[in-house]
Structure 1
């Protein structure tokens, strides 16, 4: 099946299974474990790593910012234990870290995880962290608008690549929880 991506702008999208070189190791492993019919729904593109940040990416490649989603790693402590979660929200919104995420993690305070922790624990590059291939014991919190999106641009685990994926596929990932109002 060939997917036609309307959000690709000037990018040349190929099937992710043929572009595994554009993925961080944990992302590639997660793609290999997907049902082949689901993996066929994911596109991959090579980009300039200097343009990995969403605004620069969208402007340079002509991809609509409304169709981009950002994955952030959040940490909070409870009884001395650090609890992590990944949040995926549309690029035009911000994750409700101090409200919904804090309550979901059942912590007193939640904040973005330090860069070294986010990179070390995910095995992905900062600026390329993606919901595919995250640690299995982390909740993946998705804004309902992300889950409903017909197509999105997300990271590939490295700054030199992006994935194009339908939101419903992301909602099926292990640990995924769709939360109304996560991105405000």
Structure 2
């Protein structure tokens, strides 16, 4: 079985309008969310064998704050990628559990295209910052992955991890 963890970067900082989009860091809420997502991944025994991460500052900072024991592979092609580019990168992956960190709208479209049945969650369609899908695939290799074959194991958004009732 292969497992994909598909994560949108956490909330970015828009305080400096002169900063190029690629270079925007996380804001305070985003840093807190990324740390909480890392704790959630560890609590669910979801440490990836391979991490594919956009080169944008906010995706790299999200990845660093997850505090996972593996360094990411940075891919410029993941910056604002559309589903076909994401699928190409995933098909070249070698890990059994792969974490991909990217951007909307592509990551939301990619998540929707991969799952046989979407999760019963009101935020799945818009895939807010930090949204994380965990899907399992029965095929033996990523190279053979076909859209619509993923079985949802988890879907979580940071607000569920950081907001207290």
TM-score of the superposed pair, with normalisation by structure 1: 0.28
Q: Give the strand-richer structure, 1 or 2.
A: 1
TM-score of the superposed pair, with normalisation by structure 2: 0.31
> Rg: which structure is higher?
1
Q: Kindly indicate whether structure 1 or structure 2 has the higher relative contact order, using CA contacts under 8 Å at least 6 residues apart.
A: 2
